[in-house]
Amino acid sequence: MAAHVDALVAATRNIALPPDRRATLDHYIERLQRGHATPPRCPCQGYRGDPSQLGGTLRITGRVTHAGWSEMRVTCDACARSFQVTEDVGYHVPQYDWRAL
Ligand SMILES: [Zn+2]
């Protein structure tokens, strides 16, 4: 990964960009250099079940409960992605609908 980041820095260093795009690029390069890049196979990417059942990777940061269903705000501690998850308990097995935020 480090070699790829070095290559990215070298390839983009002298490209003329508007200041806002340079700032965005620098921000992402800095994240890569600090190792905050999204893990390519983060468990949250394939999981679409009950967020409380994924072994501590997912953290429920908010929940609004309605009659028969609820909405949860979920954050992945591994990659910092956030999701809105709707839980519908009106079936024999609860149904979950995930939406990336
Ligand atoms: Zn994740």
Question: Which pLDDT score, from 0 to 100, does residue 7 have?
Answer: 85
Report the separation in Å between the CA atom of 65 and the middle of ligand 1, taken as the mean of its atom positions: 24
* Per-residue buried b or exposed e for 20-50, using 16+ beta carbons within 10 Å of the residue's own CB: eeeeeeeeeeeebeeeeeeeeeeebeebeee
Report the separation in Å between the CA atom of 74 and the middle of ligand 1, taken as the mean of its atom positions: 10
Report the separation in Å between the CA atom of 24 and the middle of ligand 1, taken as the mean of its atom positions: 22
What is the C-alpha separation between 77 and 44, in angstroms, rounded?
Answer: 9
Does the pTM surpass 0.75? The reply is no
User: What's the whole-number average pLDDT of the chain?
Assistant: 87
What is the C-alpha separation between 101 and 93, in angstroms, rounded?
Answer: 25
Question: Which pLDDT score, from 0 to 100, does residue 38 have?
Answer: 56
Question: Which pLDDT score, from 0 to 100, does residue 1 have?
Answer: 57
Residues near 76 by Cβ (< 8 Å), separated by ≥ 6? 42, 43, 44, 57, 58, 59, 82, 83
The confidence band for 56, taking pLDDT boundaries of 50, 70 and 90, is confident
8 Å CB contact between 69 and 47 = no
Token pair of 88, please? 């519908």
**Strand, coil or helix: 23:** helix
Instruction: Summarize pLDDT for 20-49 with one digit per residue, the tens.
Output: 888 888 877 877 777 665 556 788 988 999
Question: Which pLDDT score, from 0 to 100, does residue 11 have?
Answer: 87
- Given its phi and psi angles, is residue 56 left (phi above 0), alpha (psi -120 to 50 degrees) or beta? left
